[in-house]
Amino acid sequence: EATVRAEGLGKTYSEGKLVTPVFSGLDFEVGAGETVAILGASGAGKSTLLHLLGGLDTPSEGEVYVDGHRMSALSDAARGQLRNRALGFVYQFHHLLPEFTALENVMLPVLLGGAAVADAAGRARALLESVGLGPRLEHKPGELSGGERQRAAVARALVNRPACVLGDEPTGNLDERTAASVFELMLELNRAQRTSLVLVTHDRRLARRLDRVMELHEGRLREVPGAEV
């Protein structure tokens, strides 16, 4: 039932003589529809963990399973397809393609999944309307506000109805009010689609709103009891 699962996961970066052990032996799983916050000081390894869970980097030890598939057993192409179908990514920076409209940006993951253009346009338009960007479909990222860009990025992450969304400080660049509204939007969509959410954040107030809070500290991942968050 886990959407994303890590087993004995470890990462050590090595560049020549420079060896940086980040964490090891992490066991971690996220159930369908579950929302999990990952807290930790800067440099604790939160982004590294998220990249490993998303198959964007290779672990030094252990395994990651996404939607039941062992990532290390897949070819690069199959891993890319699984990522596109089963995962959504939202970062602090929106990573929308600047030369494409909001609609086109959100259509892309659907097209990559093999859908017809009309289908992709229909789904992207419906989702953009539901995140309040109906009047902005033809705008390019440079013509959107910061909050609108993150809403479009959230729509792009969710348009394929992934099993799990991985968020790396997705509201970290926004003013407090806009951040709160983008965060609420993510929770709303996660509930509506029963998508699970793994959210890296340093904002304990946001973390508290999720089902579970984990903290990455000195290479270990521990569950933080609700009362301590």
Least gap, CB of 214 to ligand ADP (angstroms):
12
- Cα Dmax for the chain: 53
User: Following DSSP, what letter does each residue of 40-97 receive, concatenated?
Assistant: --TTSSHHHHHHHHTTSS--SEEEEEETTEEGGGS-HHHHHHHHHHHEEEEESS----
CB of 98 to ligand ADP, least distance (A): 15
CB of 177 to ligand ADP, least distance (A): 25
Determine which residue in the list 2, 6, 9, 22 makes contact with ligand ADP, applying CB under 6 A.
22
The smaller minimum CB distance to ligand ADP, of residues 51 and 132, is found at 51
Residues 173-212 that bind ligand ADP (CB under 6 A): none
Question: Three-class SS of residue 112?
Answer: helix
Contact 31, 201 (CB under 8 A): no
CB nearer ligand ADP, residue 157 or residue 189: 157
**Interatomic CA distance for residues 229 and 226, integer angstroms:** 6
Assess contact for 39 and 102: CB atoms under 8 A: no
The reply to whether 45 sits near ligand ADP by the rule CB under 6 A is yes
- Which range of residues in 2-10, 15-23, 24-32, 119-127 is near ligand ADP by CB under 6 A? 15-23
20 binds ligand ADP (CB under 6 A): yes
Do 85 and 162 touch, CB atoms closer than 8 A? yes
> Binders of ligand ADP among 55-94, rule CB under 6 A?
56, 76-77, 79-80, 83-84, 89
> Using the rule CB under 6 A, which residue among 40, 59, 147, 170 binds ligand ADP?
40
Q: What is the CA radius of gyration of the chain?
A: 17
Which residues are near ligand ADP by CB under 6 A?
13, 15, 20, 22, 40, 42-48, 56, 76-77, 79-80, 83-84, 89, 109, 112
